[in-house]
Amino acid sequence: MTNSPEETTPSRLTTTDAVDASTGEPPVEPDVLDRDTYDAIREPRSSGRLPLGDGTWHQLARQYVWVQLISTGVLALIVLAAVLLVTFLSHQWWAWIPGGVFLGILAWTMIITPRQARAYGYQLRRDDLVFRRGILWQRVVAVPYGRMQLIDITHGPLDRGFGIAQLKLVTAAASTGVVIPGLKQEAAELLRDTLVDVAEERRTGL
Amino acid sequence: MSEFDHVPPPVASGALRADARAAPELTDGEWHRLHPLTPLFRGGLFLVVIAGLVIANLRDRLVFLFLPWLDEDIDVEIDGEEFRSGDPIDFIIANNLYLVAGLVLLGILLVLIGLFYLSWRFHTFRITGDDVEVRSGVLFRTHRRAPLDRVQGVNLTRPMFARLVGMAKLEVVGAGLDSNVKLEYLSTANAEAVRADILRLASGSRVVAAARADSATLHSTEGANAPGVSRRSAAASVVSAGLTGLISGAEEPVSEPESVVHIPIGRLVASRLLSTSTLWLIAIVVAIIVGSIAGTPWVLFTLIPALIGFGAYWVRTITRSLRYSIAPTSSGGAREQPGGLGRSPSTIRITFGLFTTITEILPPGRVHAVEISQSILWRPAGWWEITVNRLSGRGLADGTNDQFTTVLPVGTRADVERVLRLLLPGLPENEWPLVFEHGILGPKPEDPYTNTPRRARLLRPLSWKRNGFLLLPDALLMRRGAIWRKLAIFPLARLQSIGIEQGPLDRALSVASIRAHTITGRVNGRLAILDRDAALGVFEDAEAAAVTAASSDHSHRWADEDPEASPDAVSVSVENPTAAVPVDGPEQRP
């Protein structure tokens, strides 16, 4: 491949793992992906749910919940401050109606964030990546490695502070929509490099 | 075949040599220019706007000039105050500055012509074995390159005015948003030749490539013999080509193949009248009449703009679909290979439009999803429409996207059958009944489709017996709708990914939705309310089948029989020199 000098960096999977994948072995996952993450997928209780199936699910880093809580909390504080300002300075009590609804939504978001974070999962199978999310609205997507067009890593300032990143997987279909938030940064980079290698191996037409 | 585009531009350096596999004429790997009349058509709109501004500003004066008996309200008194109030024409007339004004006008015209000439001169294109490239711009240079193995199709558009002088726009459809490479304009004959060559090169047919390389060397020596004649003969050939184009009207493209479907005009008009927009019109008319009875009768006058609007819409949709033809072609190079027609699939040629004629060439494997649909209004007549999801290479905001999604505007069942066989050549013979009998017309006894379970029928009260899927070895079929009947076909080799979704209501009934993810288009890949286990099964099976289908698919070089010569091999060998630099870099450091 064209990016051979980077292969000497120790933290990344060697290309042979990706090559093995085409001969039938699943890509070897070192525990970088599972360091400091949740260890059980949260599922709906009903028996009619979409089952987990077999294989190991990798999950999000625990710091992701803190990042979400902090950012939502800051937003809630700003809204609260704005509402208080309006009520005390100009005695407009109606400001509590939209403000209260908004604050309620934010509080609800913060309550369900830890549960939601536990419902995220991804699996590296032999030919594809499987991604799942959601408890009330479950969604499972399988993306063949050869279909990945590019892989995007983004991290904001708060993410950097907690050492996590968001990985977005882009295919030619806009509806694929696979975004894995809250990976440890080294896990995200390892995953990106592995996926790019495997995608390069199996590149097909559109 | 004219020679005018062959003058090598000064911007093209000698280093840009012809590729060994390149074709002669315009596709010999050298830089070429577009048709010299291009600026006229491209700048046409600009000139019309300018003319419109001038006419609008000088309206009174023109009226006075041509219709002098209407001049009561035009004040032609000219005095010192009037000059300063700023009518330049009055100023010129008063001061007798006709010569100066004429010179200024001439100067502006010359500058404009010079700018047009420069922009034409710097607008060059090149077609090699691997890419189509276009360079344009004088101050701000743009250089666009589209790899041939990602070509999604080639469109030849002939707007009415350009068609009168025998010119055409060629558009190489790339794989992405706003990724088309446009060659505007070429003479029709040249455009046809360039298109055939692009498709031939893109198909990866090496038999053709070798033959082309031979004739390329022959052609280049021929051209080298007569460098002095080129200018004059070029000019002469421009004129003669323009005249021939005018006389023949360039109406017949080179050897147009016989269409497999003929749409009678009556059926086309009737089908457009029996559309959902008609229901809207009736609703609007009823609302207006009711309004005029209940309120003031003046509301009736709003009928006129509504009728005009709908009339214009109908005329537009009907003229766009007139002269429709769809046919398989062998411009993908299959013709040249002995016995190759049976093995390598052919490209599809779709032509439509009365005034602006568009000819699309769709290479095989560029159709990402097909949908056959029938509204309830069409059911008595037994008409169907076929739409596809394909990459049009245009921006999201481009309004012309829509016309590239409809492959068959209206057709009987037999027409649908013929068109589908063209669009999906890979489907084996024994699977067609599953598409036609059970899919389009179903459900019938012994239905092979997996449908919505009885327990969830309240969520699909009308269509639950029809709402289902069928997984074939190389396609996923989704059947939907009892009133608006639809059948969507997803070739697995084009499936990007697949998803399965379940909401709380679904979970209570133990059902789920599957969703086939393809490129954006009018065909929707979501099929809701399926038994959960069946959905999970098709999720796994379709995914596995999609991986297999994608790995055995090489339709990006569709005429290439040898997988070893796929573009990956080519691109690797091309990229190696650049890749060698970073590899060597660390080793050379002390």
DSSP string, B178-229: T--EEEEEEEHHHHHHHHHHHHHHHHT-HHHHHHHHHHHHHHHHHHHH-TTT
- Model ipTM value: 0.82
- What pLDDT is attached to residue B369? 93
Residues 495-514 of B with CB under 8 A from A: 496-504, 506-512
Contact criterion met (CB < 8 Å) for A206 and B175? yes
CB contact under 8 A, A204 and B586: no
List, as ranges, residues 299-328 from B with C-beta within 8 Å of A: none
Q: Judge whether B153 lies within some domain.
A: no
Four-CA torsion B391, B392, B395, B397, nearest 10 degrees: -110
Selected residues 92-151 of chain B with any CB under 8 Å from a CB in chain A: 149-150
* pLDDT (0 to 100) of residue B359: 87
Contact B554 A141 (CB under 8 A): no
B55 belongs to a structural domain: yes
Residues B381 and B459 in one domain: yes
Contact check, Cβ <8 Å, B502/A172 = no
Q: What per-residue confidence (pLDDT) applies to A167?
A: 93
Tell me, yes or no, whether B333 lies in a domain. Answer: no
Cβ within 8 Å, pair A147-B391: no
Distance from CA of A15 to the nearest CA of B (A): 16
Q: Would you call A146 and B501 a contact, using CB atoms and an 8 Å cutoff? A: no
Q: Is A178 on the interface with B (CB under 8 A)?
A: yes
pLDDT tens for the 590 residues of chain B, in order: 343 444 444 333 333 333 333 334 677 778 888 888 887 777 666 777 888 887 777 777 777 777 666 555 555 444 444 445 566 777 777 777 788 888 998 998 899 888 888 888 888 998 888 888 888 888 888 888 888 877 888 888 888 878 888 888 888 888 777 778 888 888 888 888 888 888 888 887 655 444 444 444 434 333 333 344 455 555 556 556 555 544 444 444 445 667 888 889 899 989 988 888 888 888 988 988 888 888 777 878 888 888 888 888 888 888 888 888 888 876 444 333 333 333 446 788 888 888 888 888 888 888 899 999 998 889 999 999 999 988 877 765 555 656 678 889 999 999 999 999 888 888 888 888 888 888 888 788 888 999 999 999 999 999 999 999 999 988 999 999 888 999 999 999 999 999 999 999 999 999 999 999 998 888 999 999 999 999 999 999 999 999 988 888 777 677 665 444 333 333 333 333 333 333 333 333 33
Q: How far is CA B57 from CA A160, B49, B61, B103, in A?
A: 61, 12, 9, 21
In a domain, B14, yes or no: no
Inter-chain residue contact B517 with A141, CB threshold 8 Å: yes
Q: Do A50 and B502 touch (CB under 8 A)?
A: yes
Number of domains in chain B: 3
Range of the domain at B274: 268-310
Of B500, B539, B547, the CB nearest to A127: B547
**In chain B, what are the helix, strand and coil shares in percent, each to the nearest 5?**
50, 20, 30
Judge whether A50 is closer than 8 Å to chain B, CB to CB: yes
B370 in the same domain as B304: no
Q: Which of B175, B517, B553 sits opposite A176 (nearest CB)?
A: B517
Interface with A, mutate which of B547, B552, B556, B570 (most A CBs under 10 A): B547
Tell which of B67, B97, B120 closes a domain. B120
Question: How far off is chain A from B583, nearest CA to CA, in Å?
Answer: 6
> Is B501 a member of any domain?
yes
| Domain match, B445 and B541 both | yes
**What parts of chain A have a pLDDT lower than 70?**
1-30, 204-206
Residue of A46, A138, A175, A198 to mutate, testing the B interface (most B Cβ within 10 Å of its Cβ)? A175
Which residues of chain B have a CB within 8 Å of the CB of A203? 568
Looking at residue B510, its pLDDT comes to 93
Composition of chain A by helix, strand, coil, percent to 5:
45, 20, 35
- Contact A147/B509, CB-based, under 8 Å? no
* A23 vs B: CB within 8 A: no
Chain A's closest residue to B586, CA to CA, is A5
DSSP B416-442: HHHHHHHH-TTS-GGGHHIIIIIIIS-
Q: Which residue has the tokens 């779709």?
A: B350
For residue B360, is it within any domain?
no
Ordered by start, the domain boundaries in chain A are: 4-44+55-61+120-201, 64-113
Record the pTM: 0.77
For residue A200, give the chain B residue with the closest CA.
B568
Closest CA in chain A for residue B575: A2
Fold of A4-44+55-61+120-201: PH-domain like (2.30.29)
Q: Are strands B124-127 and B32-33 parallel, antiparallel or unpaired?
A: antiparallel
Question: Omega into B24 within 30° of 0, i.e. cis?
Answer: no
Give SS3 for A34.
coil
Predicted confidence at residue B239, as pLDDT, reads: 57
B398 with B542, same domain: the answer is: yes
Q: Tell me which residue of B426, B467, B421, B417 sits closest to B447, measured CA to CA.
A: B467
Query: Of B497, B507, B575, which is closest to A171 when you measure between CB atoms?
Result: B497
- Whether residue B525 and residue A175 make contact (CB cut-off 8 A), yes or no, is yes
Same domain, B376 and B517: yes
The one-letter amino acid at B113: I
Interface test with A, best of B148, B203, B517 (most A CBs within 10 A): B517
Q: How many CB pairs under 8 A join A and B?
A: 127
Residue recorded with tokens 């086309």: B268
- Give the closest residue to B124 by CA, choosing from B97, B142, B149: B142
Q: Does A113 touch chain B (CB under 8 A)?
A: no
| pLDDT at position B35 | 84
pLDDT at B255: 55
Give the integer Cα–Cα distance in Å for B473 and B297: 63
Q: What pLDDT, on a 0 to 100 scale, did the predictor assign at position B518?
A: 92
CA distance A28 to chain B (A): 20
Question: What is the separation of C-alpha B294 from the centre of its chain, rounded to a whole number of angstroms?
Answer: 48
Q: What is the pLDDT of residue B343?
A: 41
* Pair B412, B297 in one domain: no
Phi and psi at B121, nearest 5°, equal -65, -30
